[in-house]
Amino acid sequence: MDTPEPQVEAPPPKADIAADTIVVTARAAKVMRGQLEKRGTPEGAIRFGIRGGGCTGYSYMFQFEDGDPRGSDTVVEADGGVRVYVDPKSMRLIKGTKIDFETGLRGHGFRFDNPNTSTSCGCGESISF
Amino acid sequence: MGIEDDDGNDTGALFQIEEPVAPMRKTTVPGRGIGIDLGTTHSLVAVAPCGEAPRTLGDADGRALLPSVVSYIGETPDVGWDARAAQLSAPTRVVSSVKRFMGRGTADIEFQHPYRIAALGDGAADVVRLEVGQGRVVTPMEVSARILEVLAARAEEALGETPTGAVITVPAYFDEAQRQATKDAGRIAGLTVYRLLAEPTAAALAYGLDKGGQGLFAVYDLGGGTFDISVLRLRDGVFQVLATGGDSALGGDDFDRAVGEHLLREAGVHTPTVLQREQARVAARDAKETLSTAETVSVQWEGGPALTLTRGQLNAVIGPIAERTAAPCRGALKDAGVRARDLDGVVLVGGSTRTPLVRNLVESIFRRKPLSDIDPDQVVAYGAAIVADELSGYAREGATLLDVAPLSLGLETMGGIVEKIIPRNAAIPIAARQVFTNYSEKQTGMMIHVVQGERELADDCRSLARFDLSGIPRLPPSMARIEITFELDADALLTVTARELMTGVKQTVEVKPTYGLSDEDVDALVIESLDNADEDFARRNLAEARVELGRVVLAVSAALTEVGDVEGILVAEDRAAIVSALADGEAAMAPTGPTEHHEIVAVRERLEHVSEAFARRRMERALLAGMEGMSLSEVENTIAADDTLDAKRGSHEAEQIEKI
């Protein structure tokens, strides 16, 4: 079992959420770049956002994006030039989020530390604010 | 399921980068879409990269037309002019007019053709397969794919890059099987088919007729071997085919044959050989083309006498044949319920419409001068190229709203919350479905309210339609399954179907073209949703919290009524606590209740907490009762089925259905 994140990294209170941006750790950026290359679209980007709603709340959207950013998107440039697009509507709900990449017994995957969420469901894929 | 941390800390889920939901859009590169007119006798490819005027692409000799003929005489199939030339020498091994076989079963082939159709194997799908010699058997889709490959290669050379997708035109009357076969041909050729486009619509788009927003048009298409007439309505920038008609055995080739026979008679040849007949036909075709602009032409073929043909003589010969197109035209107008004078334009398609006599005939049928500025052989490919350019991701000026859903389409769910089924900017045609459930066991109907817009609550969206699905069986909350399907077809017509999966009761509504909206309206609605995002989210959260609380209140009250005072399940003390929490819940749901969703959530959690032990005991009893007499495997099956259902119900994202 991997070590749980140290508790000192507790999310900052909502009032402290910085400007409209997100943070991509170097490790996450490296994996994103690798996956984009493996997919044959090294120049592509990643779209990060919130979608849906419905009976169980909101969920994250995290996908490859081949097009240019839309006019209203925020483009976050991570280590090594990987670009992450966030649409303005999602930004309100994910600003201040840190995207990290985790490896361990739970498997490999990206992890979102979103200071805006109030609760997560059991699987962590549905969120509420 | 992941492994929980020992101390119960929620470390959150781990995510993977997904492919975008709309697979059609993932490979688009603006300017790299191609338009293909896959014709019965000829095919063409055109491009209109990044808003440029459309142009067709020629072969090394500059010929834009590619005969739709594939020769299987050699080891590798040969496509085009050489294949056509080889046709007389090996009629069964050179496939022409393969379009007539597309999407047809062996029983559907009632027309004359020189091919040997392979017998169907046991259990094989009823698809026509042609024996082309040396044991080779090909399907019409494969033959068409060979043609598409040649055109795609042409485009790749011209663009300097691989095309990312193609728009292929099909006759307006093509049915689902014929359209699917055409899509399959594209796939076999290695093309991404953005969409199919009706030939008359393509011609109308090439003339920019969509720019007016409204109108009624006729498209008169007289090709080499087929005649098609279509009546289109343009409403809110979307074309709809109102009626089609035609004659699948009437075309310019009939003109050539008749004129050839006339020339042979003039030459005094009364029993022509096959060669003479062919020579006369070719001479007739050339003469006919010259007479499109000249008044007289001299005609001579090898070994034949020098003859003269005037336009008057030509017209006398072909007039009766051309006249046969008039009845289908009038029939199509009648079917469409419009009169010739209601039309806003008539478009000419097909090489045979270059003949002045045909133009005059069209003018007399429709009482207006037809549009003929664009080469009638190329006009359909032009329209396809324009649409392909748009679908490749280039926003052409004044582009029609034909190709993407400009605003999300969704449903109102409990609490007035909007569940988006087809997201904004989804490429159409698109179909998506999602399974919904009932809220209470008293519910025997469901009101389906279809809305359009980006806001979170139905009240703020545009209402498109309402209908009721009745006859839902009485089932405990969350047990009924109602599948809602949204289909937005190529003509932007939305069909919403609601189906209860247990009984199969079904209800459908068609929403007529939804876009009474200008681009500015769409932009304004999107901006409005951004401006109101915070407030919308708060309202949505509140509505969701209320719905959730309502569900729990209902479930707990029902359980209380049901058990009555059954010994051992509920002691008086617990009952009092639950009743009190229930009263709090009902108060919280009243209009005078709290307006912060956190407060409502707290009330719900309290109710859940006090009723938890009761719920567990009830569940155990129900399980015991339910499992009586069931084997272990039956129990497991039941649980597995429930899990599948839960997974389906729990997914809060519409599932896309692969369609055209």
Mean pLDDT score across all residues of chain B: 82
Which residues, listed in sequence order, are joined to residue A65 by a DSSP beta bridge? Answer: A45
Note whether B478 contacts A: Cβ–Cβ < 8 A: no
B489 has pLDDT over 90: no
For chain A positions 85-104, those within 8 Å of chain B (CB to CB) are 88-89, 92-93, 102
Q: How confident is the model at residue B428 (pLDDT cuts 50, 70, 90)?
A: low
- With beta carbons less than 8 A apart as the criterion, state whether B222 and B251 touch: yes
Query: Same domain for B273 and B302?
Result: yes
B422 has pLDDT over 70: yes
Residue in chain A closest to B537 (alpha carbons) equals: A129
The partner residue sitting opposite A64, judged by closest CB among B3, B13, B20, is B20
Task: Name which of B446, B545, B427, B443 is nearest B488 in CA terms.
Answer: B427
- With beta carbons less than 8 A apart as the criterion, state whether A22 and A47 touch: no
Query: Same domain for B69 and B187?
Result: yes
**Is B654 a domain residue?**
no
The partner residue sitting opposite B417, judged by closest CB among A35, A53, A62, is A53
**Is B453 a domain residue?**
yes
The DSSP code for B471 is -
CB-side neighbour CA atoms (13 Å) of B122: 0
CATH label of the domain that carries residue B495: 2.60.34.10
Total tally of structural domains belonging to chain A: 1
Query: Same domain for B275 and B423?
Result: no
Return d(Cα B152, Cα B165) in angstroms, integer. 10
Query: Same domain for B420 and B566?
Result: no
- With beta carbons less than 8 A apart as the criterion, state whether B67 and B42 touch: yes
Residue in chain A closest to B12 (alpha carbons) equals: A124
A64 has pLDDT over 50: yes
- Specify the higher pLDDT residue, A76 or A127: A76
- Helix, strand or coil for residue B242? strand
CB-side neighbour CA atoms (13 Å) of A71: 3
**Is A14 a domain residue?**
no
Instruction: Please report which helix (H) or strand (E) contains residue B233, including its range.
Output: strand B227-235
Residue A11 pLDDT: 42
**Rounded (10°) angle between helices B533-563 and B572-589:** 150
Total tally of structural domains belonging to chain B: 4
Residue B25: its chain A contacts at CB < 8 A?
A: 66-67
The DSSP-derived string for A65-124 is: E-SPPPTT-EEEE-GGG-EEEE-HHHHHHHTT-EEEEE-STT-SEEEEE-TT-SEE-TTS
Residue B25 pLDDT: 39
**Is A82 a domain residue?**
yes
CATH label of the domain that carries residue B63: 3.30.420.40
A18 has pLDDT over 60: no
**Is A52 a domain residue?**
yes
For range A71-79, the mean pLDDT: 87
Query: Same domain for B414 and B438?
Result: yes
Q: Which domain holds residue A42?
A: 19-128
Note whether B647 contacts A: Cβ–Cβ < 8 A: no
- Specify the higher pLDDT residue, A121 or B186: B186
Return d(Cα B236, Cα B174) in angstroms, integer. 24
Choosing from B78, B99, B420, B584, the catalytic residue is B99
For range B158-185, the mean pLDDT: 87
Q: How confident is the model at residue B40 (pLDDT cuts 50, 70, 90)?
A: very high
User: Quick one: residue B447, left, alpha or beta (phi over 0 = left, psi -120 to 50 = alpha)?
Assistant: beta
Sheet hosting strand A83-86, strand order edge to edge: A74-77, A83-86, A45-52, A58-65, A126-128, A119-120
Q: Scan for tokens 């000249």, then name that residue.
A: B294
For range B119-134, the mean pLDDT: 80
- Specify the higher pLDDT residue, B574 or A128: B574
Task: Name which of B377, B372, B375 is nearest B359 in CA terms.
Answer: B372
Chain A: nearest CA to B18, how far in angstroms? 4
Query: Same domain for B591 and B475?
Result: no
What are B170's two structure tokens? Answer: 């099909």
Determine whether the interchain pair A92/B537 forms a contact, defined as Cβ–Cβ distance below 8 Å. Answer: yes
Question: Per-residue pLDDT tens for A93-111?
Answer: 888 999 999 887 667 889 8
- With beta carbons less than 8 A apart as the criterion, state whether B171 and B198 touch: yes
Angle, vertex CA B158, rays to CA B157 and CA B162, nearest 5: 55
Query: Same domain for B77 and B199?
Result: yes
CATH label of the domain that carries residue B548: 1.20.1270
Residue B513 pLDDT: 36
**Is B490 a domain residue?**
yes
Note whether A116 contacts B: Cβ–Cβ < 8 A: no
- For the question of an ipTM over 0.90, the answer is no
Q: How confident is the model at residue B654 (pLDDT cuts 50, 70, 90)?
A: low
- With beta carbons less than 8 A apart as the criterion, state whether B318 and B258 touch: yes
For range B520-545, the mean pLDDT: 73
Determine whether the interchain pair B2/A123 forms a contact, defined as Cβ–Cβ distance below 8 Å. Answer: yes
- Domain end among B504, B531, B558: B531
Residue in chain B closest to A34 (alpha carbons) equals: B17
For chain A positions 14-73, those within 8 Å of chain B (CB to CB) are 32, 35, 46-47, 51-57, 59-67, 72
For range B447-455, the mean pLDDT: 85
Determine whether the interchain pair A56/B17 forms a contact, defined as Cβ–Cβ distance below 8 Å. Answer: no
Question: Per-residue pLDDT tens for B593-644?
Answer: 888 888 888 898 888 888 888 877 777 776 666 666 566 566 566 655 555 5
Chain A: nearest CA to B210, how far in angstroms? 26
Measured in residues, chain B has a length of 660
Question: Per-residue pLDDT tens for B404-418?
Answer: 566 788 888 877 888
| Residue B58, amino acid | G
- Helix, strand or coil for residue B277? helix
Query: Same domain for B544 and B579?
Result: yes
- With beta carbons less than 8 A apart as the criterion, state whether B77 and B94 touch: no
Note whether B2 contacts A: Cβ–Cβ < 8 A: yes
Cα of first residue to Cα of last residue in chain B, in angstroms, is: 36
Residue B67 pLDDT: 95
Residue A16 pLDDT: 40
B478 has pLDDT over 60: yes
Determine whether the interchain pair A123/B13 forms a contact, defined as Cβ–Cβ distance below 8 Å. Answer: yes
Other beta carbons within 10 angstroms of residue B364's beta carbon come to 11
| Residue B155, amino acid | A
- pTM as predicted: 0.55
Return d(Cα B518, Cα B526) in angstroms, integer. 13
Alpha helix (H) residue ranges in B124-166: 140-159
CATH label of the domain that carries residue A78: 2.60.300.12
**Is A98 a domain residue?**
yes
Residue A13 pLDDT: 39
Best-predicted range by mean pLDDT among A49-63, B302-316, B535-549? B302-316
For range B282-293, the mean pLDDT: 91
A3 has pLDDT over 80: no
B371 has pLDDT over 90: yes
Residue B70 pLDDT: 97
- Helix, strand or coil for residue B228? strand
- With beta carbons less than 8 A apart as the criterion, state whether B656 and B432 touch: yes
Query: Same domain for B566 and B518?
Result: no
CA distances from B513 to B239, B401, B489, B495 (A): 10, 11, 10, 10
Would you give the distance in Å from CA B235 to the centre of its chain?
18
A6 has pLDDT over 70: no
Counts for chain A of helices (H) and strands (E), in that order: 2, 9
- With beta carbons less than 8 A apart as the criterion, state whether B446 and B501 touch: no
Which residues, listed in sequence order, are joined to residue B494 by a DSSP beta bridge? Answer: B488, B511
Task: Name which of B262, B258, B230 is nearest B244 in CA terms.
Answer: B230
**Is B242 a domain residue?**
no
Q: Which domain holds residue B589?
A: 535-628
**Is A69 a domain residue?**
yes
Choosing from B78, B142, B184, B199, the catalytic residue is B199
Q: How confident is the model at residue B146 (pLDDT cuts 50, 70, 90)?
A: very high
The partner residue sitting opposite A120, judged by closest CB among B12, B16, B393, is B12
Query: Same domain for B522 and B621?
Result: no
**Is A7 a domain residue?**
no
Q: How confident is the model at residue A7 (pLDDT cuts 50, 70, 90)?
A: very low
Q: Is residue B369 annotated as part of the catalytic site, yes or no?
A: no
CA distances from B402 to B30, B488, B527 (A): 17, 11, 22
Determine whether the interchain pair A125/B13 forms a contact, defined as Cβ–Cβ distance below 8 Å. Answer: yes
B429 preceded by a cis bond (ω within 30 of 0): yes
The DSSP-derived string for B401-438 is: TTSB-SS-EEEEEGGGEEEEEE-TT-BSSEEEEEEE--
**Is A9 a domain residue?**
no
- With beta carbons less than 8 A apart as the criterion, state whether B384 and B37 touch: yes
B660 has pLDDT over 70: no
Best-predicted range by mean pLDDT among B173-182, B243-252, B437-446, B495-504? B243-252
- With beta carbons less than 8 A apart as the criterion, state whether B497 and B506 touch: yes
Return d(Cα B200, Cα B177) in angstroms, integer. 19
**Is A6 a domain residue?**
no
Determine whether the interchain pair A88/B653 forms a contact, defined as Cβ–Cβ distance below 8 Å. Answer: no
Q: Scan for tokens 């069931």, then name that residue.
A: B630
Note whether A111 contacts B: Cβ–Cβ < 8 A: yes
